Amino acid sequence: MQTENTKGLANYILIFGFLIVVTLPMVFTLIHKQEDISSREKRKLAPLPAFSFDEFWDGAYQQKFSQFYQDHFGFRQKILSGAREFRRGAWNKSLSRNVIYGDDEWMYFNIDGTLHDYTGYYTQNSQDSSLWLQGLDIKNRWLAQLGVRYLLVPIPGKMNVYPEHLPARVRDAAGESRLQAFRAELKDSDLEDVVLDLLPTLRKVKNETQVYFKTDTHWNEDGAFIVYQAIMDKLSHWFDDIEPVTPNMIDRGSRMKMGDIAIADGAKAGEMEQTDTLTINNRCANEQSTKVAEFTKTPAYQANPKHLPRANGCTSKKIRALVVNDSFGAYIRKFLSDSFEEVIFMHYYELFDMKSFIEEFDPDVFIDLRAERRFHYLLGTDERMQSELETGKY
């Protein structure tokens, strides 16, 4: 009798515990006010779909409802926080499939096939790097016809700069990345001078100065300044009037930052990284760059109106530069602004579509800052440029 009672107690614990786990999130979903945006995931959450028989019969309603429930089930934020802690503790694995935990709190982002590239998947599977030189050559000659020097600056990915913090299983799987294949092709070619290879520089200085954030995809301000110096050094071989920002013109401070990888990982507000800030003493350029309204007339802007180029510069300087950059441009722009008479920063556009704008702006140099995971996109051959070069009609 007593055994039955004690077994009964164990049964009650199991039954009630199970029913609570199964029903509580559902009940909470019904009574809780739905959020529209997830600050943790940086996206709009799926709304409750309106019922329609048409959508019900073709399955679209069920799909939308499933998305809604995934985004709004009861205690979602708390469960996701628990899931993050569990996965981190049990598997050293992030909640996000795109985030890779390294050692010593280093994090890596696996987007746009970064990991595949790191392991050499693309170079092994018919990615013809020899064609890249052809594309680069055409671009270089086309810009030269416009009187512009071309400088390609592929930005090494964090995995290539700091492979030592990657998990061993990833580090051991390293292969020839697209950038490495490109560097091999470039070696001893006529185009070597057009490309600034940052990898040796960054790897050399990283033991003295941390050049990339631990919890962000990008270089930190120190990294940006080192890259800036490398660019200026390169340009000083091409132009006599280069006057770069020097280390003694820099003031150091510090701040806390939550990196983009930490955000994608679902990090809490307190999980921030301390980083140095670099400020230029007595800046000659403006604090804020100004929008370049003239660019709205170009086909390049019509095709991609999201980002309007921005201009800055120092009237005391001589060289004019056009800089194409992605999110890596964030910390380097202030140094570049202080180094040119006028500099325009812009996001990626079809170069050929910018022809009239380039002619009007008349830069001395075109600097193409491109993240490693995307640099191969710009090495395709533009047939319109090729045709102009072949026919001699510009």
Q: CA-to-CA distance for 53 and 59, rounded, in angstroms?
A: 10
Q: Which stretch binds other proteins (CB under 8 A): 2-10, 240-248, 359-367, 384-392?
A: 2-10
Rg of the chain over all Cα atoms, to the nearest angstrom: 26
Q: Residue 54 CB, nearest distance to other proteins (Å)?
A: 15
Tell me whether strands 365-371 and 320-324 are parallel, antiparallel or unpaired: parallel
Measured from the CB atom, the residue of 122 and 366 that comes closer to other proteins is 122
Closest CA to 136 of 191, 95, 96: 191
Residue closer to other proteins by CB (options 68, 352) is 68
Note whether 387 binds other proteins by CB under 8 A.
no
Binding characters for other proteins, 92-131, by CB under 8 A (x = yes): xx-xx-x----------x-x---xx--xxx--xx------
| Nearest CB to other proteins, comparing residues 96 and 201 | 96
The continuous run of DSSP H or E covering 275 comes out as: strand 273-280
Distance CA 334, CA 287 (A): 8
The single-letter code of the amino acid at 55 is E
The reply on whether position 253 binds other proteins by CB under 8 A is no
Site string for other proteins, 209-228 (x = CB under 8 A): --------x-----------
State the Cα–Cα distance between residues 339 and 228, nearest whole angstrom.
10
Tell the smallest beta-carbon distance from residue 55 to other proteins (Å).
14
What is the bridge-based pairing of β-strands 43-44 and 37-38?
antiparallel
3-state secondary structure of 338: coil
Q: How far apart are alpha carbons 326 and 374 in whole angstroms?
A: 10
For residues 354 and 345, give the distance between their C-alpha atoms in angstroms, rounded to a whole number.
13
Using CA of residue 312, residue 315, residue 317, residue 321, what is the dihedral sign? Answer: positive
- Smallest gap, in angstroms, from Cβ of residue 150 to other proteins? 24
CB of 213 to other proteins, least distance (A): 12
Does 26 contact other proteins by CB under 8 A? no
Contact positions toward other proteins, by CB under 8 A? 2-3, 6-15, 17-18, 21, 40-43, 59, 70-71, 73, 76, 79-80, 82-83, 86-87, 90-93, 95-96, 98, 109, 111, 115-116, 119-121, 124-125, 167, 169-170, 172-175, 217, 260, 263-264, 266, 326-327
